[in-house]
Structure 1
Amino acid sequence: MARVLSLFRPQPFLALAGRRKPTLCKMSMDSRAREVFAAAVGAVQPDAVVRQSIVRKEDSVTIDGHKFTLKHNLHLVGFGKAVLGMAAEAERIVGDHLVKGIISVPHGIQQTLQQHGKVHLLLKENSCIKVMEGAKHNLPDDDAQKAAEEIKQLASSLTEKDLLLVLISGGGSALLPAPIAPISLQEKLEVTRKLAAAGATIQELNTVRRALSFLKGGGLAQFAHPAQVAGLILSDVIGDPLDLIASGPTVNSEVWPEEVLSILERYKLLESLPASVKDVLGRPHPRGSENMDKSDTSGRVLNVVIGSNSVALKSAGLRARELGFRPVVLAPGVCGDVRSVSRLYGLLARFACAREEPPPEIAAEVLRLGPEVGVESWDLCRTMQVLGEGRTEGWGSTCLLAGGEPTVELTGKGRGGRNQELALRVGLEMRGMKLPPNGPVFLSGGTDGQDGPTEAAGAITDGGLYEEAQAQGLDIDNFLTNNDSYTFFTQLSAGQRLLVPGLTCTNVMDVHMLLIPPIPINIH
């Protein structure tokens, strides 16, 4: 492994730290962690990502290097939790070239934004964009289905002279339900619920959803043919796969009934299928063979991911430099069981903070855990190289950044989410690691501002967590068994370790952060 690690040579620390370091380093590690997290969230605000992605020049716009002529020919549709702010900014940019728009957004979002003072994410009073709220509790409902039908009608009315701007963010799938008749919305929902409960993968779920939907799997783009289509996507899925974000309404994909039936048979659901679903799967797909003249959208559809976990981590790294850290990004797609993820971060903390060369067993276990948590060995080797040089060469503080979406096995009925539980478990892994001033420090936070059924987005922890909990009579194991991390952090130090950023208006999964203070070098 040493030979692999030697390939990486980070830049000198002083060049990265920035001129603001001497002043800002007076901040506590906890405060700096919160600042870095805020920078990550700020970089993926819905209006900001749209503003950076659409370049307006007189009567044209350029998106990802592609130029589109504007002649009062622009139409807009959108669906997702962050789409209202995206639409407001898009309308500001294109002005009166926008003819009409329809967006499907979560129930109550306009009132919520108004109450939180986020008026810049609301449409202007004379907007030509129609807002339709639905999908209460993030589940498709009749209101969302009405919005989907109107979006389909708008797309179907377009000509080759038109441009359809499609705005997509997390939650878009529930806000664009369009089951193929005679399937009812409830019947489609029950089929997907049963599949999920049986352990189907997200790929399998989307394969079935697409087969039962008019608009998913490229259906929206096909209905818009022959108009040009530009999809701007704020990704909340690991790896940013275009066909999985909101089930890919602008990404053409084949529908094979045989494949769908095979999935349903695999999970023993064929016998319990509603008659309507069997009927649809037994005949040609309505946007399949009988509509081949509209299925060729190649060259007329552009899809661009304008906001993602990677974008958030890049901004977090820049802020970390300003605060006196040497940033290193591990990966934007950390996943797997929260126990394995916490073990990985605990090992990396011990690797980075060892006063002498750490035992080789630590690096070996880090590499063994890689496949379990979705991190490539190459990225782990690169990261350990940077952490090792920071330790041996005295380059000062380091900020390890990562993102993704770990999973939690529910064994209790407590309150909390994956970020709070991850922080709690990492605190246990770092037990006894006390370095001046109070590091290492670990933060895990959801960019959507909410972690499970609580107002917290996550939590911040360090190596003194266990002793602090003991001193306050808190049994960590009991809280973990009951999945009650929120109650734990609320009782610990009066909730000061909780991360509560409020309404963030965005979602690009989670941000993980490990702050390593300068390591005293042993001189022999």
Structure 2
Amino acid sequence: MARVLSFFRPKPLLALVERRKPLFSKMSLDSRAREVFATAVRAVQPDTVVRQSIEREEDVITIDGHKLRLKNNLHLVGFGKAVLGMAAEAERILSDHLVKGVISVPHGIQESLRQHGKNHLLLKENSSIEIIEGAKHNLPDGDAQKAAEKIKELASGLTEKDLLLVLISGGGSALLPSPVPPISLQEKLDVTRRLAGAGATIQELNTVRRALSLLKGGGLAHFAHPAQVVALILSDVIGDPLDLIASGPTVQTEIWHEEVLSVLERYNLLDSVPVSVKEVLGKPGPRWDKKQLEGAQEACVINAVIGSNSIALTSAGRRARELGFRPVVLFLGVSGDVKLVSRLYGLLAQFACSQKEPPPEIAAELLRLGPDVGVETWDLCRTMKVLDESRSEGWGATCLLAGGEPTVELKGKGKGGRNQELALRVAVELQGMDLPPKGPVFLSGGTDGQDGPTEAAGAVTDAGLCEEATTQGLDINGFLDNNDSFTFFSKLSSGQRLLVPGLTCTNVMDVHVLLIPSPPINI
């Protein structure tokens, strides 16, 4: 009986040999990592996410499960780096019912799209949507404020018969500056900059920013009342918190001036803020009185996240499977210093590449490191379990995926960004893990196509990078100390490590890809 049963047992080694037929033998690990990243970016293109979020049958549209009737009553506003492409697709779908629109987009975006051949992300000729470019260098300016005033004016004129479609993406906060009178735009900027310089948290900064703005913290929805408001949101914030994306203009937030004053006092700024700020914050109680707030909340406001890091990674995982890998999503909110994040990926690679059961100290260090890089213990345990099964049961190559936005402590004067520095630091961690053909391969890339003040979005590295650098006389540690990762990658003779996708037209934070090849088979 035992001999008969053994015939039906799984044959992991034979199964592994079958899986490793050279379906992708002509495609390097580097190329496959880049394709996985490109797929993630394609999944969150502004026109794609809008098209997938609006279902139309004649004069009825369905958004996020809500059915809405169109009666030549549609108005559109938007603000953010990806909003022009979102608006172009919304116009294609709904133009016959569109009355008027105003969008606030980055300075020079229309010309940039034309130069890159992305005309499908531009509005049609004679569009009823007005485009205002502003926020040069990603900072609120007079043009952005002009756009905010027009958006407020449009929203304020709506009735209960109207439908306001609001398009929001990363960068929307800078493109929708509307300080509460008599505060000037410059005064508001000075207050938030001084708070940031004093070490205020992002939550504290948003508390103050919302209180000094007419449109943030639900202000736009308030002015649009009693119209139906539907916001389509492309998220660039970890966890997709609606009140933080572009400071939540369609998310009703109860703002108490006393809370804002306590934040300013905490950082010793209360006595030095402009008189106009003191005047606005000197009024006790919430910004809106109870009746106003309840009236705005009675209006049906639908907030739908239609593009996010999660959606990008899901699509990337499907592509990784097509390319011969078993996809594993680690976490969507990797954060913290790149030094710690690089150690995380180095330890995970060690854990996965161990020929035998990995030493318990690796798992212990991973669990200690988790809280410092924003990764939950449960997610680390789940990932290690999958990696352990992949190794012990012969499941073959693995693609570990994660997203987030790590940080870099700037000490030098070099050129680069968080993705390039993370990739370089991970390369140092991967030394000695020489699984064929190139050992583990790691990619870190910004979905917005730009990593710091460079043309690159990130970089691709592997276990052989340190040896390559030594051969060429390049001191990796020296470049890292100077925060000069872009210069390092540019000096490599191969010249093919940088990730340069060009204009991506989207932004859902960063994507990390760790490809772990199949272990060698000894037959």
Q: TM-score, normalised by structure 1?
A: 0.95
Q: What is the aligned partner in structure 2 of residue 271 from structure 1?
A: 271
CA distance in 2, matches of 1:344, 1:15: 31
Q: Secondary structure at the match of 1:423?
A: helix
* Mapping for residues 244-283 of structure 1, pairs under 5 Å: 244-283=244-283
The residue identity in structure 2 corresponding to 1:358 is: P
The residue identity in structure 2 corresponding to 1:453 is: P
CA distance in 2, matches of 1:299, 1:272: 39
The residue identity in structure 2 corresponding to 1:194 is: R
User: Contact (CA 8 Å) 2:258, 2:284: kept in 1 or not?
Assistant: no
Instruction: Please state how far the C-alpha of 1:295 moved relative to its aligned partner.
Output: 4.3
* Mapping for residues 114-513 of structure 1, pairs under 5 Å: 114-283=114-283, 288-289=288-289, 292=292, 295-298=295-298, 300-513=300-513
User: Contact (CA 8 Å) 1:355, 1:521: kept in 2 or not?
Assistant: no
Instruction: Please state how far the C-alpha of 1:330 moved relative to its aligned partner.
Output: 0.2
Q: What is the aligned partner in structure 1 of residue 73 from structure 2?
A: 73
Instruction: Please state how far the C-alpha of 1:284 moved relative to its aligned partner.
Output: 5.4
Q: Secondary structure at the match of 1:333?
A: strand
CA distance in 2, matches of 1:14, 1:229: 58
Instruction: Please state how far the C-alpha of 1:297 moved relative to its aligned partner.
Output: 2.0
Q: Secondary structure at the match of 1:91?
A: helix
CA distance in 1, matches of 2:293, 2:351: 59
1:290/1:179 Cα in 2 relative to 1: closer, same or farther (>3 Å)? farther
User: Contact (CA 8 Å) 2:78, 2:102: kept in 1 or not?
Assistant: yes
CA distance in 2, matches of 1:391, 1:164: 53
CA distance in 1, matches of 2:123, 2:14: 45
Stretch deviating more after TM superposition (414-423 or 428-437): 428-437
Instruction: Please state how far the C-alpha of 1:289 moved relative to its aligned partner.
Output: 1.2
1:70/1:284 Cα in 2 relative to 1: closer, same or farther (>3 Å)? farther
Give CA deviations for 1:449-505 in whole Å, capped at 9, x if unaligned. 000000000001111111111111111111011100000011113421100000000
Instruction: Please state how far the C-alpha of 1:296 moved relative to its aligned partner.
Output: 3.3
1:169/1:15 Cα in 2 relative to 1: closer, same or farther (>3 Å)? farther
Q: Secondary structure at the match of 2:493?
A: helix
Instruction: Please state how far the C-alpha of 1:15 moved relative to its aligned partner.
Output: 11
User: Contact (CA 8 Å) 1:219, 1:249: kept in 2 or not?
Assistant: yes
CA distance in 1, matches of 2:157, 2:416: 46
Superposition CA RMSD, Å: 2.0
User: Contact (CA 8 Å) 2:254, 2:286: kept in 1 or not?
Assistant: no
Instruction: Please state how far the C-alpha of 1:214 moved relative to its aligned partner.
Output: 0.2
Stretch deviating more after TM superposition (198-207 or 501-510): 198-207
Q: Secondary structure at the match of 2:81?
A: coil
Give CA deviations for 1:156-196 in whole Å, capped at 9, x if unaligned. 00000000000000000000000011100000000000111
1:293/1:403 Cα in 2 relative to 1: closer, same or farther (>3 Å)? closer
User: Contact (CA 8 Å) 2:421, 2:480: kept in 1 or not?
Assistant: yes
User: Contact (CA 8 Å) 2:436, 2:520: kept in 1 or not?
Assistant: no
User: Contact (CA 8 Å) 2:430, 2:462: kept in 1 or not?
Assistant: yes
Gapped regions of structure 2 (runs ≥ 5): 1-11
CA distance in 1, matches of 2:182, 2:259: 21
Instruction: Please state how far the C-alpha of 1:272 moved relative to its aligned partner.
Output: 1.1
Q: Secondary structure at the match of 2:331?
A: coil
The residue identity in structure 2 corresponding to 1:364 is: A
Q: Secondary structure at the match of 2:443?
A: strand
Q: Secondary structure at the match of 2:454?
A: coil
1:262/1:39 Cα in 2 relative to 1: closer, same or farther (>3 Å)? same
1:47/1:403 Cα in 2 relative to 1: closer, same or farther (>3 Å)? same
Instruction: Please state how far the C-alpha of 1:283 moved relative to its aligned partner.
Output: 1.6
The residue identity in structure 1 corresponding to 2:302 is: L
CA distance in 2, matches of 1:104, 1:323: 39
Q: Secondary structure at the match of 2:56?
A: strand
Count of matched residue positions in the alignment of Structure 1 and Structure 2:
512
User: Contact (CA 8 Å) 2:226, 2:296: kept in 1 or not?
Assistant: no
Among all aligned residue pairs of Structure 1 and Structure 2, give the percentage whose two residues are the same amino acid: 78
**1:518 correspondence with 2:518:** yes
User: Contact (CA 8 Å) 1:219, 1:287: kept in 2 or not?
Assistant: no
Q: TM-score, normalised by structure 2?
A: 0.95
The residue identity in structure 2 corresponding to 1:444 is: S
Q: What is the aligned partner in structure 1 of residue 89 from structure 2?
A: 89
CA distance in 1, matches of 2:364, 2:412: 33
CA distance in 1, matches of 2:289, 2:59: 38
Stretch deviating more after TM superposition (470-479 or 22-31): 22-31
Q: Secondary structure at the match of 1:469?
A: helix
User: Contact (CA 8 Å) 1:214, 1:287: kept in 2 or not?
Assistant: no
Q: Secondary structure at the match of 2:151?
A: helix
Instruction: Please state how far the C-alpha of 1:126 moved relative to its aligned partner.
Output: 1.8
Give CA deviations for 1:27-73 in whole Å, capped at 9, x if unaligned. 10000000000000000000000000000110011001000000000
Instruction: Please state how far the C-alpha of 1:286 moved relative to its aligned partner.
Output: 9.0
CA distance in 1, matches of 2:467, 2:68: 61
User: Contact (CA 8 Å) 2:29, 2:515: kept in 1 or not?
Assistant: yes
Q: Secondary structure at the match of 1:179?
A: coil
Gapped regions of structure 1 (runs ≥ 5): 1-11
User: Contact (CA 8 Å) 2:328, 2:398: kept in 1 or not?
Assistant: yes
